[in-house]
Structure 1
Amino acid sequence: MTPPPTLTFIQPGHPLYAGELELRFRVLREPLGFTREQVTFPFEPQSLHLVAHQGDTVLGCVLFHPEDARGGRLYQMAVASHLQGQGLGARLVRGLEEALRGRGFTHVHLHARDTAIRFYERLGYTVYGEPYTEVGIPHRNMRKSLDT
């Protein structure tokens, strides 16, 4: 039996970072017609990057950008298509939340694609605000208190 993927915090420049970018491109951007150059954000060096990997192969990722001393935005959550629906995404989000609590963060918000709202609701996130379009597809804002 194959062991579960290892969760590791990385930063740009880490040997797994290229694999993270490729996964984000394949899962989140390529299906929408974006280029590889459109997968990165200017604030990535200041963000936390949690990747799930088996050896050198990145199978999942989730990022967090702090916006102040207590909170910030979860973004670029992606799991390899052949592993979606098997709990890896939830494991990544919970692992990130645990690390954020340990660093004193008390709340997280995110921009959820309509197709991901139920996933985040199962993890305790709630929808707020009006629907909107981002990267050409419907989204909703969601948030969660980490105090619980």
Structure 2
Amino acid sequence: MRVEIANSESQLEEVFQIRKTVFVNEQHVPLAEEIDEFENGSTHFVLYDGDLAAGAGRFRIVDGGIGKIERICVLKNLRSKGAGREIMLAMEQYAKDKSIPKLKLNAQTYAIPFYEGLGFEIVSEEFMDAGIPHKTMVKTII
């Protein structure tokens, strides 16, 4: 498995297709909520298993320099095989390379143990986003 920054239109199409499969088709998030106004100002990551695009994530700068990790998703066949971890580690390295000191994400509550295993801590009460319960988590990286 390898993670790349999506630098071409074809890679962005792969990112959006993976997100549609996971969030829209599987989790029933409305497409209008999944693809939003932050797409153009974000850095998109795509995970490949061989030549197959199988995971994605989005990174953007918010709140005066905090890196916000969003839209982490992996196709069913690679879940629980380290793919999500690979995406997260690539995004964290990207943030370190840009001297971004802190990361933030809104975790679906079922995924909190995954993010805790990567060093994130819960900093909010539960809230609903797209009809799915979430909690905000943060991690200081530098």
Under a length normalisation based on structure 2, what TM-score does the superposition of the two structures give? 0.90
Partner of 1:107: 102
Secondary structure of 1:45's match? Answer: coil
For 1:135 and 1:72, how far apart are their aligned partners in 2?
22
Q: How does 1:9-48 map to 2 (within 5 A)?
A: 9-11=5-7, 14-48=9-43
For 1:40 and 1:49, how far apart are their aligned partners in 2?
12
**How many residues in Structure 1 have an aligned counterpart in Structure 2?**
141
Whether 1:65 and 2:40 are equivalent positions in the alignment is no
Partner of 2:140: 145
For 1:36 and 1:58, how far apart are their aligned partners in 2?
20
Partner of 2:2: 6
For 2:86 and 2:2, how far apart are their aligned partners in 1?
11
Query: 1:144 corresponds to which letter in structure 2?
Result: K
Partner of 1:135: 130
Structure 1 residues 132 and 68, CA, compared in 2 at 3 Å: closer, same or farther? closer
For 1:19 and 1:35, how far apart are their aligned partners in 2?
19
Query: 2:47 corresponds to which letter in structure 1?
Result: A
CA deviation after TM superposition for structure 1 residue 70, in Å: 2.8
Secondary structure of 1:21's match? Answer: helix
CA deviation after TM superposition for structure 1 residue 119, in Å: 0.4
- What residue ranges of structure 1 are gaps of 5+ in the alignment? none
CA shift digits 1:45-84 (9 cap, x unpaired): 11111111233x3111111111156313110000111100
- What residue ranges of structure 2 are gaps of 5+ in the alignment? none
For 1:70 and 1:49, how far apart are their aligned partners in 2?
18
For 1:137 and 1:15, how far apart are their aligned partners in 2?
30
Secondary structure of 2:53's match? Answer: strand
Under a length normalisation based on structure 1, what TM-score does the superposition of the two structures give? 0.87
Give identity over the alignment, percent: 23
Query: 2:10 corresponds to which letter in structure 1?
Result: P
The answer to whether the 8 Å contact 2:5/2:43 transfers is yes
